[in-house]
Amino acid sequence: MKEANLKFTRFNNWVWRNLPGCREIVKIVTASMDGRLSWREWVLMKVHLFSCDSCVNFLKQVTFIRTALRHSEEKLDRENSDIRLSDESRRRLKEKLRFES
């Protein structure tokens, strides 16, 4: 994994002192995967990502994992589309579950 290459510029120092830290940005990045961000969250995330290689790496890793999982799920759905329980097996399962409840 690539080491974070922190550049101590005036802009980066200002960002790190005045805007939310990496922990908060990780929460925002994760939320961005599940839905839309507010305008404020989006701007905070983009400015932070501009100044922080570690969070850029985190975003790349999360995006890669989500893509890999999505593709593997699609592949499993295609491969297992022919696998079905027989009507008799379904009836027996329902019967067992009914008695255990």
**What pTM was computed for the model?**
0.61
How many C-beta atoms lie closer than 10 Å to residue 28's C-beta?
19
What does the pLDDT profile of the chain (101 residues) look like in tens digits?
344 556 677 877 777 788 888 899 999 999 998 889 999 999 989 988 888 888 999 999 999 998 888 887 777 666 666 667 788 988 888 888 887 65
Q: How high is the pLDDT of residue 98?
A: 80
The residue segments making up the domain with residue 73 are 10-100
For residue 5, is it within any domain? no
User: Do residues 32 and 55 make contact, with C-beta atoms less than 8 angstroms apart?
Assistant: no
Q: What is the pLDDT of residue 1?
A: 39
Indicate the number of domains in the chain: 1
Tokens read off for 58: 């985190």
Q: Are 66 and 42 in contact (CB under 8 A)?
A: no
Residue 1 covered by a domain = no
3-state DSSP assignment of residue 26: helix
